[in-house]
Amino acid sequence: MSERTCLSIILAAGEGTRMKSALPKVLHAIAGLPMVAHVVRAAAAAGAGDVAIVAGRGADEVKRAAIPFAPTAETFVQKERLGTAHAVLAARNAIERGYDDILVLFGDTPLVSVDALAKARAKLAEGASVAVIGFRPRNPTGYGRLVERDGALLAIREERDCSEAEREITFCNGGLMAIAGKDALRLLDAVGNENAKGEFYLTDIVEIARDAGLTAVATEAAFEDLLGINNRAELAEAEAIWQKRKRREIMLDGVTLVAPETVFFSFDTEIGSDTVVEPNVVFGPGVKVSGNAVIHSFSHLEGASVAEGCQVGPFARLRPGAELRGKAKVGNFCEVKKAVVDTGAKVNHLTYIGDAFVGAGANIGAGTITCNYDGFNKFFTDIGAGAFIGSNSSLVAPIKIGREAYVASGSVVTEEIADGALAFGRARQATYPDKGRQLREKLAAAKRKAE
Ligand code: UD1
Ligand code: MG
């Protein structure tokens, strides 16, 4: 099929008022990715990487969301909302370039599967002019009904225009369809607006095609593939379905999820086999975890890479630019940002490592902080391989700590420490024999006198 050229037209001009949001509806995210980008991604994977988006407000932002998955994506603006056929024709200039297949998708139907699109395109390859993607919703109210006879699709009837008998049909229009490029403009230009809503219905091209002696068919997709999002409750429903699919995919790829329903992934999360993810872990965008790692409970990772055999958490936060190399450990209540924790290094307890390099095998004691920010600029901390940083040390950046250097607990380090050196950066302890007891007695006497 790949030799057939394909344009996807994504309708995204919906007002989305029920989202009650300043953000255009199709830019609301599922798994950290705008809905419209999910659609573009599926279209590209189904061979329709030439993308025309028909947008309403926020056309520039919508295009920006599409570009990572379809670098040549273009947007067209539908000025008046006169119906789905009218919306498709807003992309007339793109259609006129000439394609074998045209896929019409909705920007607010983000869970559409590559498989459903490929199935519809396959029908065009077999000679159909129109292939409609149908489904059987639990409640068909509001959907266009697919009127079929002997495997051919006769018409799509919008609910408001249905006869009593047609309203009983449970096979419905998911809204998405594939149209043969050679017939598309002819069919679309023939659509009128004589119907209950006075709109130019894309769905009318089915009857128009049949009247012209062309073939229209319906394919069937899962209900979940065609879930349309109109409010935030439906957005959450789609998120849940997406997460469920991703968890399954990740587990089938060889990752152990101890309690899958408590782990949340982003659209681009990658995890290697034999890694174990404990309950209650969140993966924000841009995370790659290699194999044989353990991500302990209650960790939050974002923009981070975790190499083979690393251990993260429990209660660890890896922020953008965190890079854990082989077998490194980042333990409880630690935060790592824009920093390398090199092979075998350990950052185990209550520590902040930001804008830093932690050399191989270094040991960072509990409560260590890289003081990377003076309120205006960020500075770098460079810790040599094998260094030992005693607990509760503050490393005031910019600072360099040599290989195998040793920093005493409680130090405030402001000067470079050479390789192999021992540094104390704290006041000396003074101890006065018996003075403790004397002080206690004095204070007690004072208190008695006051009472
Ligand atoms: C449409 C279908 C219906 C199908 C249902 C599935 C038509 C006429 N009807 O109905 O058969 O069962 O989807 O969800 O196609 N849009 C524009 N510009 C317009 C009108 C719509 O961009 O002028 C976009 C909307 O933003 C939306 C999509 O097209 O993404 C569908 O429009 P909507 O009004 O939701 O159509 P439905 O009445 O749901
Ligand atoms: Mg709709």
349 is catalytic: yes
> From the candidates 38, 296, 300, 349, which is the catalytic residue?
349
Decide if pLDDT at 279 tops 90. Answer: yes
Summarize pLDDT for 395-426 with one digit per residue, the tens. Answer: 999 999 999 999 999 999 999 999 999 999 99
Percentage of residues in the chain having pLDDT higher than 70: 100
Per-residue pLDDT, 224? 93
Summarize pLDDT for 226-239 with one digit per residue, the tens. Answer: 999 999 999 999 99
Per-residue pLDDT, 2? 57
Cβ neighbors of 257 (< 8 A, separation 6 or more) are 247, 250, 251, 263, 277
Per-residue pLDDT, 1? 47
- pLDDT band of residue 16 (cuts 50, 70, 90) is confident
Q: Are 382 and 401 in contact (CB under 8 A)?
A: yes
* Cα–Cα distance, 319 to 335 (Å, whole number): 7
| Domain 254-423 falls under CATH 3.30.470.20 | no
Q: Measured from the CB, is residue 311 less than 6 Å from ligand 1?
A: no
Q: What is the mean pLDDT of the chain?
A: 97
Q: Measured from the CB, is residue 11 less than 6 Å from ligand 1?
A: yes
Decide if pLDDT at 140 tops 60. Answer: yes
Q: Which ligand is nearest to the CA of 112?
A: 1
Tokens representing 154?
Answer: 């006769």
Summarize pLDDT for 231-269 with one digit per residue, the tens. Answer: 999 999 999 999 999 999 999 999 999 999 999 999 999
Q: Measured from the CB, is residue 158 less than 6 Å from ligand 1?
A: yes
Cβ density class 415-430: b for 16+ within 10 Å, e for less: eebeeeeebebeeeee
Same fold, 6-226 and 254-423: no
Where are the domains positioned within the chain? Answer: 6-226, 254-423
Q: Are 399 and 381 in contact (CB under 8 A)?
A: yes
Q: Name which residue sits closest to atom 17 of ligand 1, judged by CA.
A: 13
Summarize pLDDT for 63-79 with one digit per residue, the tens. Answer: 999 999 999 999 999 99
Decide if pLDDT at 188 tops 70. Answer: yes
Per-residue pLDDT, 3? 86
Q: Are 309 and 323 in contact (CB under 8 A)?
A: no
Q: Structurally, what CATH architecture does the domain formed by 6-226 represent?
A: Alpha-Beta Complex (3.90)
SS (H, E, C) 158-209: CHHHCCHHHHCCCCEEEEEEEEEHHHHHHHHHCCCCCCCCCCCCHHHHHHHH
Decide if pLDDT at 32 tops 50. Answer: yes
CA distances from 270 to 4, 246, 354, 420 (A): 31, 10, 24, 39
Closest of 98, 29, 91, 22 to residue 57, by C-alpha: 22
Summarize pLDDT for 142-178 with one digit per residue, the tens. Answer: 999 999 999 899 999 999 999 999 999 999 999 999 9
Decide if pLDDT at 190 tops 80. Answer: yes
Cβ neighbors of 125 (< 8 A, separation 6 or more) are 1, 4
Summarize pLDDT for 324-339 with one digit per residue, the tens. Answer: 999 999 999 999 999 9
Q: Which ligand is nearest to the CA of 109?
A: 1
Which ligand 1 atom sits nearest the alpha carbon of residue 14?
26
Name the strand (E) or helix (H) holding 35: helix 35-45
Side chain identity, residue 162: C
